[in-house]
Amino acid sequence: MTKGVDVDLENVWIRFGDFVAVREANVNIKGGEFFSFLGPSGCGKTTILRSVSGFLEPSEGTVRIGGRDMTGIGPNKRPTALIFQNLALFPLMKIWENITFSMEVKGASKAERRKRADELLEMIALPDQGEKLPSELSGGQKQRVAIARALCAEPDVLLLDEPLSALDLKLRQHMRTELREIQQRVGITFIYITHDQGEALTMSDNVAVMRAGVVDQIGSGHTVYNDPATPFVASFVGENNVFRGKVKSIDGDMALISTNRTGELLARIATTAQGTLKVGDPAMLFVRPEALNIAPDITPAPNRFAAMVKHEEFEGQIYNVFLEGSEGKEIKMSLVNIGTERQSAEGMNLTLEYVPEQAVVLPAGELASE
């Protein structure tokens, strides 16, 4: 198999008439990496992918694949293969013909194609299904055929546009691991698009989080989750309790925020905001539900606040507690089920606490709408 190559977007703008679908995207994807674009529906993920595969030219900026400027090079000349959002298997061709289409157009003999098709069918665990038509396969099987068809073209870069979105949860989880395995086996660059943050975090080496045409943050799943660059990323990736307020004081990388409804709270300033955030700036403080805990006593502290239990949801491994803070502020807390008796009950007044280093402060900004 070919070794994966780098894909670089340099200052890429894509416009449809007056509408800006992608704004100043700068992304460097390293060869052999599993890279995800994560963002809500309509934020421009597919548009970026289409500019990489060659179906549309950026209005401004350049796309490079393996260091080569791709401007003016058509999709059939690029070393990419795209797995479409709806798979786009050829309905009138048999499975084996679908898989080896890329060889057929290059004039490979039928015997050659059959042989390769059998190898690939073996790889995607669908042996002896080559004679069927796409309509005769299940959703997950079609999925795998689409992957095999793309891999058969021996691309340097495989582009996947939400290929799992049509599958049910169980199959989706299964296909995630399978995709990751395939990627590690063939070693080529995977660019994966999803609006499911769980999917992005579990599979990717690096994630780009997009909001309305803008790439907000690029980093490993760990970084994006723990050290978000914008309020949008903080609220879109995973769940977060948001406290709005103003910066009261700054001490190193820690900031004290006087929140609108919950008093003064302390948290770490996000890496991107360090040095730029000043006293008096409007700010947002994010605390993840799993970072919250029930305090052992009710002594006030800048990492503690009071709330009343409204209801609970038991999920086995954890249980989610929904609380109401002062002035009706909604708060969610996730407690690990360690087998002891429940520490809370409906209507109970609790004091919650968190480790200040586990909460983040960011300059106020746009949140992801739920």
Ligand X SMILES: Nc1ncnc2c1ncn2[C@@H]1O[C@H](COP(=O)(O)OP(=O)(O)OP(=O)(O)O)[C@@H](O)[C@H]1O
Chain positions contacting other proteins, by CB under 8 A: 53-55, 74-76, 80-82, 84, 86, 88, 90-92, 101-102, 104-106, 133, 135-136, 149-150, 153
Find the binder of Mg ion among 46, 53, 204, 259 (CB under 5 A).
Answer: 46
CB 238 within 8 A of CB 197: yes
Residues in the chain: 370
Candidates 43-51, 202-210, 257-265, 347-355; binding stretch for Mg ion (CB under 5 A): 43-51
Which of ligand X, Mg ion, other proteins, none does residue 47 bind to, with CB < 5 to 8 Å depending on kind? ligand X
Q: Indicate the residue among 26 and 138 with the shorter CB distance to other proteins.
A: 138
Compute the least distance from the CB of residue 179 to other proteins, in Å: 18
Which of Mg ion, ligand X, other proteins, none does residue 206 bind to, with CB < 5 to 8 Å depending on kind? none
Q: Indicate the residue among 156 and 216 with the shorter CB distance to other proteins.
A: 156
Which of other proteins, ligand X, Mg ion, none does residue 21 bind to, with CB < 5 to 8 Å depending on kind? ligand X
Residue 214 phi, psi (nearest 5) = -115, 135
Q: Give the orientation angle of helix 139-152 with respect to helix 110-123, to 10 degrees.
A: 130
C-alpha to C-alpha distance for 227 and 231, rounded to whole angstroms = 11
Closest CA to 41 of 126, 165, 136: 165
Q: Indicate the residue among 150 and 270 with the shorter CB distance to other proteins.
A: 150
Compute the least distance from the CB of residue 194 to ligand X, in Å: 8
Give residue number: closest CB to Mg ion: 46
Which of Mg ion, other proteins, ligand X, none does residue 322 bind to, with CB < 5 to 8 Å depending on kind? none
Which of Mg ion, ligand X, other proteins, none does residue 72 bind to, with CB < 5 to 8 Å depending on kind? none
- What is the number of other CB atoms lying within 10 angstroms of the CB of residue 341? 4
Secondary structure (DSSP) of 319-362? EEEEEE-GGG-EEEEEEE--SS--S--TT-EEEEE--GGGSEEE
CB 311 within 8 A of CB 346: yes
Q: Indicate the residue among 193 and 284 with the shorter CB distance to ligand X.
A: 193
Between the CA atoms of 40, 46, 51 and 55, what dihedral angle is there, to the nearest 10 degrees?
-160
- Hey, what are 283's tokens? 């700010």
Question: Which residue has 């002062």 as its token pair?
Answer: 326
Q: Indicate the residue among 45 and 329 with the shorter CB distance to other proteins.
A: 45
Compute the least distance from the CB of residue 274 to other proteins, in Å: 43
Q: Indicate the residue among 148 and 284 with the shorter CB distance to other proteins.
A: 148
C-alpha to C-alpha distance for 291 and 268, rounded to whole angstroms = 13
- Hey, what are 125's tokens? 């665990």
User: Where do contacts with ligand X occur on this chain (CB under 6 A)?
Assistant: 16, 19, 21, 39, 41-47, 195
Site size for Mg ion (CB under 5 A): 1
Q: Indicate the residue among 15 and 94 with the shorter CB distance to ligand X.
A: 15
All residues at 6 or more sequence positions from 169 whose CB lies less than 8 Å from its CB, including other chains: none
C-alpha to C-alpha distance for 334 and 318, rounded to whole angstroms = 6
Beta bridge pairs of residue 80 = 157
Which of Mg ion, ligand X, other proteins, none does residue 42 bind to, with CB < 5 to 8 Å depending on kind? ligand X
Which of Mg ion, ligand X, other proteins, none does residue 157 bind to, with CB < 5 to 8 Å depending on kind? none
Q: Indicate the residue among 165 and 226 with the shorter CB distance to other proteins.
A: 165
C-alpha to C-alpha distance for 162 and 197, rounded to whole angstroms = 12
The verdict on 53 binding Mg ion (CB under 5 A) reads no
Beta bridge pairs of residue 28 = 8
Chain residues binding Mg ion by CB under 5 A are: 46
